[in-house]
A and B are shown apart, each in its own frame.
Chain A
Amino acid sequence: EIVLTQSPGTLSLSPGERATLSCRASQSVSSMSLAWYQQKAGQAPRLLIYAASSRATGIPDRFSGSGSGTDFTLTISRLEPEDFAVYYCQQYGSPLFTFGPGTKVDIK
Chain B
Amino acid sequence: QVQLQESGPGLVKPSETMSLTCTVSGYSISSGYYWGWIRQPPGKGLEWIGSIYYRGGTDYNPSLKSRVSISLDMSKNQFSLKQSSVTAADTAVYYCARVRASLYYYMDAWGKGTTVTVSS
Contacts and interface: CB of A to CB of B under 8 A. Distances in A.
B48 A99 contact: yes
B16 interface: no
Nearest to A96: B61
Contacts of A56: 106, 108
A33 interface: yes
A101 B45 CA distance: 6
Given A44-B111, A98-B48, A99-B48, A33 B59 contact: no
Interface string A40-60: 000111110011001011000
Contacts of B112: 43-44
Given A44-B110, A45-B110, A46-B110, A33 B48 contact: no
B74 interface: no
Interface residues of A, number: 27
Contacts of B113: 44
Interface of B: 36, 45-48, 51, 59-62, 95, 99-101, 103-108, 110-113
Nearest to A54: B104
Interface of A: 1, 32-33, 35, 37, 43-47, 50-51, 54, 56-57, 88, 90-92, 95-102
B47 A99 contact: yes
A97 B51 CA distance: 10
A66 to B, nearest CB: 16
Contact of A32 (B36, B60, B103): B103
B20 to A, nearest CB: 15
Contact of A47 (B36, B45, B46, B107): B107
Given A47-B108, A50-B106, A92 B45 contact: no
Contacts of B60: 95-96
